[in-house]
């Protein structure tokens, strides 16, 4: 581990030297690449420098203890020694986590698809609430949400909703939301007061970069244009601006109607289709690496039930990490960071355990 850290420190210093050269500033592509590398390495380098300093402090304290006879000074040196040793242990764990292989998609924007499952209108209502939960969470992270498509029902629910979240590190956090979400509550339409269980599915997909080669053959696609439906602005239902794409090889159908322009809707539909095709490719790769997949939290089977929202008891339980929180109202209002942090910690612990086997 320390050989690797020394190599990374040397690489960091080389990058800093190169960034100071005038010729690099004139090459924007090279400059951006170096700045990205420098940004990625900074947390590791800073932690490693602190680690080396703490180890030096331990050596200095031990040396001074050997020659020091004053009791008060010896007590102070022992406290400093104990503090440095504790910090070294913390930094060792921190460095191991920082050196874990990084998901190449972590810094990307995401496309999220929410679908109502079992439960009819109640599932559609819950899908709309989970959509609003993610919008509030995105706002708390200073991310931008862009609606791609919404299949709404008259009572305020959504059978399906697709949206994009643009923001630094969106995938690194949102990826833990993929899976089946279950709600237990008494529906407003239920006169008998019985608790119903409904489900929705959430799929979180990284946005596909232009440099990723997702080939879509024209003969494999059918493009239909139509008038948009549902609630909307002035141009809804008056122009053929909505676009539906059908991908024959996979059977995937995507639809976009949120923009007034057919060209914009077409671009959004293709972005969604590319994300779905890339997601299928990623899932197949994960299936081929089954052992790695089992050591991860949040990138598993999309049919896995990951969370239950129990309204009568005001609790939310994440089944992957056995976490139960009694603050359902806050969570439904977008306060999901505690759950995501717990998933990240569990994911890191599983990967560290795998490395130590």
Residue 85 CB partners (closer than 8 Å, separation 6+): 58
Token look-up 């100071």 returns 20
Per-residue tokens: 220: 């494999």
Instruction: Return the ∠ at Cα 289 (arms to 287 and 294), rounded to 5°.
Output: 85
Section 272-276 average pLDDT:
84
pLDDT of residue 273: 85
Cα–Cα distance for residue pair 173/170, rounded to 1 Å: 6
pLDDT exceeding 90 applies to what percent of the chain?
A: 38
What is the reported pTM? 0.74
For β-strands 179-185 and 196-206, DSSP reports them as antiparallel
Section 238-258 average pLDDT:
80
How do residues 100-151 score in pLDDT, each as one tens digit?
Answer: 888 888 888 999 999 998 888 899 999 999 999 999 999 999 999 999 888 8
Per-residue tokens: 302: 């999309």
Q: Which of 60-64, 256-260, 343-347 has the lowest mean pLDDT?
A: 256-260
Phi and psi at residue 55, to the nearest 5°: -65, -35
Contacts 24+ apart (CB under 8 A), 315-318: 318/342, 318/343
Radius of gyration from C-alpha coordinates of the chain:
26
CB 204 within 8 A of CB 177: yes
Section 14-23 average pLDDT:
87
Cα–Cα distance for residue pair 175/320, rounded to 1 Å: 14
Number of neighbouring beta carbons within 10 Å of residue 203? 18
């Amino acid at each position: 581990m320390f050989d690797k850290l020394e190599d990374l420190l040397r690489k960091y210093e080389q990058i800093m030297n190169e960034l100071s050269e005038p010729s690099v500033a004139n090459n924007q592509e090279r400059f951006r690449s170096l700045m990205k590398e420098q940004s990625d390495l900074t947390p590791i380098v800073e932690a490693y420098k602190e680690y080396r300093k703490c180890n030096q402090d331990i050596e200095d304290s031990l040396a001074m203890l050997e020659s020091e006879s004053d009791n008060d000074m010896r007590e102070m040196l022992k406290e400093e020694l104990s503090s440095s040793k504790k910090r070294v242990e913390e930094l060792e764990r921190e460095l191991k986590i920082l050196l874990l292989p990084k998901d190449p998609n972590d810094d990307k924007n995401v496309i999220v698809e929410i679908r109502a499952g079992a439960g009819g209108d109640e599932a559609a209502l819950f899908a709309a609430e989970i959509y609003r939960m993610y919008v509030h969470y995105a706002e708390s992270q200073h991310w931008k949400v862009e609606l791609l498509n919404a299949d709404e029902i008259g009572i305020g629910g959504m059978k399906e909703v697709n949206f994009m979240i643009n923001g630094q590190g969106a995938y690194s956090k949102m990826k833990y939301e993929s899976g089946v979400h279950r709600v237990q509550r008494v529906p407003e339409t239920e006169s008998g007061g019985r608790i119903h269980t409904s489900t929705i599915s959430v799929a979180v997909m990284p946005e596909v970069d232009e440099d990723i080669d997702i080939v879509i053959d024209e003969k494999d696609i059918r493009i239909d244009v139509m008038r948009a439906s549902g609630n909307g602005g002035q141009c809804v239902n008056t122009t053929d601006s909505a676009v539906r794409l059908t991908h024959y090889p996979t059977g995937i159908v995507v639809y976009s109607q949120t923009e007034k322009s057919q060209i914009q809707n077409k671009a959004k539909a293709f972005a969604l289709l590319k994300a779905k095709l890339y997601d299928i490719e990623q899932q197949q790769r994960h299936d081929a690496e089954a052992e790695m997949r089992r050591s991860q939290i949040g990138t598993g089977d999309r049919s896995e039930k990951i969370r239950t929202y129990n309204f009568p008891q005001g609790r939310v339980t994440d089944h992957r990490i056995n976490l139960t929180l009694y603050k359902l109202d806050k969570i439904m209002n977008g306060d999901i960071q505690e759950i995501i942090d717990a998933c990240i910690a569990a994911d890191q612990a599983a990967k560290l355990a795998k490395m130590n086997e």
